[in-house]
Amino acid sequence: MKILPLRVYARRQLVHTLWGGLFIVGGLAVGAIGYKACENRSWLDSIYSAAMILTGMGPAFEVRSDATKVFATVYAIFSGVLFLTSASIIIAPALHRVLHRLHVEDDAGSDRR
């Protein structure tokens, strides 16, 4: 079995990158809406705080209410899972190509037995 042509691989990588980015933007929107609803901060502050949690940097401001503390806890766990999922989606085509190339080389070597 042959490895996909570079053009097909590049298109597949682009699609996976777009899906991974869409997940991250969706997660950022969830966080911004949650912080806006719980803390009644400006949209810019809400997006900033959500981005800080999503990227693993930590909270951007001190939370004042118990509802926000609960939301921030759940959102932090959600963000960790979302980040790993998005990274996996983005890396999958490249990893698949590398493993497929190793397998093809291995199959070619087995014919020499």
* 34 secondary structure, DSSP code: H
Q: Say yes or no to pLDDT of 17 above 50.
A: yes
User: Per the domain annotation, does 33 fall within a domain?
Assistant: yes
Say how many domains are in the chain: 1
Q: Say yes or no to pLDDT of 60 above 90.
A: no
Q: Say yes or no to pLDDT of 113 above 60.
A: no
User: Per the domain annotation, does 4 fall within a domain?
Assistant: no
Domain at 32, CATH number: 1.10.287.70
CA neighbours closer than 13 Å in the CB half-sphere of residue 21 = 6
User: Per the domain annotation, does 77 fall within a domain?
Assistant: yes
User: Per the domain annotation, does 64 fall within a domain?
Assistant: yes
For 74, the 3-state DSSP assignment is: helix
Q: How confident is the model at residue 110 (pLDDT cuts 50, 70, 90)?
A: low
